[in-house]
Structure 1
Amino acid sequence: MAQAMTTKEVTQKIIRREKMFILDVRNEDAFQDWKIEGEQFSYLNVPYFDLLDGVEDILDQLPTDQNVLVVCAKEGSSIFVADLLEEAGRTVSYLAGGMKAWSEHLEPISLGSLNETGADRGEVVQFVRIGKGCLSYMIISEGEAVLVDATRMTDVYLDYAKERQLEITHVFDTHLHADHISGGREIAEKTGATYWLPPKDAPDVTFDYAALEDGSHVQVGDTQIDVRALYSPGHTIGSTSFVVDNRYLLTGDILFIDSIGRPDLAGLAEDWVGDLRDSLYNTYRELSKDLIVLPAHFMLIEELNEDGSVAEKLDVLLANNHGLNIEDEETFRKMVTENLPPQPNAYQEIRETNMGKQTPDREAQREMEVGPNRCAVR
């Protein structure tokens, strides 16, 4: 029988830039919309139903000198095909849990210490949701932790905090998310932490929250690592960034490594594009150019650094990110409003879930989030 390969094992192959061949047995439209991406990966897409009578026709298309991974939506079809390939004399693996598991994998990556003095210098940990391009953060000091833009896979953060003996004291969402379901409120309820949300994004929410406004400060631990809120609208009207310890700039969905945020997920692109430009071209340019930008998403697998993290200095982005280098305002406006990708799957339902207006069960939440993130201007 074929062996399972876990999502963590696949993630490590992506980070190490290893070669791998993926046989994706989902339908072509699903494969074209969203797949496992790696810089050194090769692909063959043959729908499962075309392989029910055997795999002989594809044997000569599969390499024998590298790992072959069979992938499907939930696991069952890939196990069937992988076993047929094993019976035909090939050594292959299948993705445990399929693309649904791939969508949910979070890889914690330490970004290093914060302040330079004291026995506990603090730390920022980036949780990379490799299959969806979502990035969330845990800011740690003196046994305390602050979470930013947590996903619905709340156990990952809670288990990580328990393993490191951390108390989660504050949970932030930089904005009302439309591409994925936030786990922030659930984590706050389970830990007793304060849940913060920008009030301009929250007029219709059904729950209590702390108002995240420009200039809000939160201290983490006794070493006084400071998390300062910076109002930066454009992706949403309430979008808020954070400056952490005068070293990191958490930009939410306003600024990415290779692109900028889209302003249309509330149907207000023409209204919000001016706010987007002001945040990018004025607010951010007044900050220290040495700040390291930590976005809430990445778009391309090539944006991962050698250690798997997604981070870059602000001055590098000011020089190289096309969205930050369009001098004419009208040209910028056209570039943003005329290059919007398809809207995220079920984004209206996701927004209403994050408002507390819907309470879908776990399986419904998984279905709502299937597919790539689409938070950036192309």
Structure 2
Amino acid sequence: MAVKAMNPHEVTQKVFYKETMFILDVRNDSDFQDWKIEGENFSYLNVPYFELLDGVEGILNQLPKDQDILVVCAKEGSSRFVADMLSEEGISVFYLAGGMKAWGEHLEPVKVGELKNGGEIYQFVRIGKGCLSYMVISNGEAALIDATRMVDTFVDFAKDKNVKITNVLDTHLHADHISGGRSIAEKTNAQYWLPPKDATEVIFEYQPLENGNEIIIGNSSISIQALYSPGHTIGSTSFIVDDKFLLSGDILFIDSIGRPDLAGRAEDWVMDLRETLYKRYKELSDKLIVLPAHFMISDELNEDGSVSETLGNLFEKNHGLNIEDMDEFRKMVTENLPPQPNAYQDIRKTNMGKICPDIDTQREMEIGPNRCAVR
């Protein structure tokens, strides 16, 4: 049987539509345990590649006969070798094109809403990393929010939509992934915006993004309004788009809230986080549709693969928004934290412009799931 490649887009569609699939991951156990392809109806077998060099006979009875089987490795080569051996045994099997490297960089655009006068907003789901970026489109212009380093994906999408990127914004100085904002702004001659309280160490020019800023996109009434919302970082800023959407950055997620410790200031920023969530956000309309900058697990995906929920529903269901006792809240957001993101200090320095790692180093820096939320 011929071995076929399955590309990240095809795997993403299986995640979105909750299809069944069996994944044979041939990376080392520690790599598999740290980060794998997540799907609600996926099953897994992890057998390191070096254990299969002499043949696959020992695992044949562990493989299903009624599901797609996808072999996964870091960069493709090992999975393709194992898939060839399985094919020789008569098993229909796929390998992941580009491996986990490609999975970690894939962006899937999903339309999440209509705006006034024909405008649109798209969410770019970085399915392998849990990052969410946004493009607001109106009257031939576009704004990007929290763009990742896959610059060409955003630029090409704008070309396909026949719109000019005029503004690029980051809700905060990111610590879990490398921002593509500044590179996109340079490539498209757009304005790059960053909260000044997060930019005290940056070594490049930017437009200061401050509370009350209004950025008009296109010739219509669509606007992006900045709402100062510290807590994840001291400069964290949310955006209200078209009085309909709340882009919450890393302050509020679907099932959790932002962690305040990635700049080493957890105790200092606990009160900022609480004031943002329990006061600033509480004053907003509960009909706003929250669009966060990250998601944690595939369960948070809607039926179309997007990630969103109304602010009112989050105030009812999100545990992080319903802790009355201040000491309990403080304990949760300072003690109940996952491991810090890989290379987060170097990622922050990269986003400040202090270091300029090559593309292979950037990939290594970003390996692993996002870890921006309180557990």
State the alpha-carbon separation in 1 of the partners of residues 312 and 120 from structure 2.
22
State the alpha-carbon separation in 2 of the partners of residues 370 and 335 from structure 1.
26
Matched, 1:366 2:363: yes
1:124-163 alignment runs, 5 A limit: 124-163=121-160
Shift of 1:297: 0.1
> Deviations 1:298-350 (Å, cap 9, x if unpaired)?
00110000000000000000000000000011110011111011000000000
State the alpha-carbon separation in 2 of the partners of residues 112 and 297 from structure 1.
18
**Counterpart in 1 of 2:292?**
295
State the alpha-carbon separation in 2 of the partners of residues 174 and 235 from structure 1.
10
Matched, 1:252 2:262: no
> Deviations 1:82-109 (Å, cap 9, x if unpaired)?
0000011101000000001000000000
Shift of 1:211: 0.1
* Paired amino acid for 2:70: L
Shift of 1:112: 2.2
**Counterpart in 2 of 1:58?**
59
* Paired amino acid for 1:103: G
Percent identity, aligned pairs only? Answer: 71
**Counterpart in 2 of 1:92?**
93
State the alpha-carbon separation in 2 of the partners of residues 336 and 150 from structure 1.
26
> Deviations 1:157-180 (Å, cap 9, x if unpaired)?
000001111100000000000000
State the alpha-carbon separation in 2 of the partners of residues 252 and 100 from structure 1.
25
* Paired amino acid for 1:197: L
Shift of 1:2: 1.3
State the alpha-carbon separation in 1 of the partners of residues 161 and 276 from structure 2.
36
**Counterpart in 2 of 1:28?**
29
Shift of 1:47: 0.3
**Counterpart in 2 of 1:178?**
175
Structure 1 residues without counterparts, runs of 5 or longer: none
1:1-378 alignment runs, 5 A limit: 1-115=2-116, 118=117, 121-378=118-375
State the alpha-carbon separation in 2 of the partners of residues 158 and 247 from structure 1.
25
Q: Secondary structure at the match of 2:132?
A: strand
Q: Secondary structure at the match of 1:174?
A: coil
Shift of 1:224: 1.8
After the TM superposition, list the runs of 4 or more consecutive aligned residues in structure 1 that deviate by more than 4 angstroms: none
Q: Secondary structure at the match of 2:149?
A: coil
* Paired amino acid for 1:110: K
* Paired amino acid for 1:43: Y
State the alpha-carbon separation in 2 of the partners of residues 44 and 340 from structure 1.
28
Q: Secondary structure at the match of 1:66?
A: coil
* Paired amino acid for 1:61: Q
Q: CA RMSD in A?
A: 0.5
State the alpha-carbon separation in 2 of the partners of residues 267 and 76 from structure 1.
39
* Paired amino acid for 1:47: P
Structure 2 residues without counterparts, runs of 5 or longer: none
State the alpha-carbon separation in 1 of the partners of residues 263 and 220 from structure 2.
40
Q: TM-score when scaled to structure 1?
A: 0.98
* Paired amino acid for 2:320: G
* Paired amino acid for 2:3: A
> Deviations 1:13-49 (Å, cap 9, x if unpaired)?
1111100000000000000000000001000000000
Q: TM-score when scaled to structure 2?
A: 0.99
Q: Secondary structure at the match of 2:364?
A: helix
Q: Secondary structure at the match of 2:24?
A: strand
State the alpha-carbon separation in 1 of the partners of residues 200 and 106 from structure 2.
32
State the alpha-carbon separation in 1 of the partners of residues 305 and 214 from structure 2.
29
Q: Secondary structure at the match of 1:31?
A: helix
Shift of 1:114: 1.1
* Paired amino acid for 2:232: H
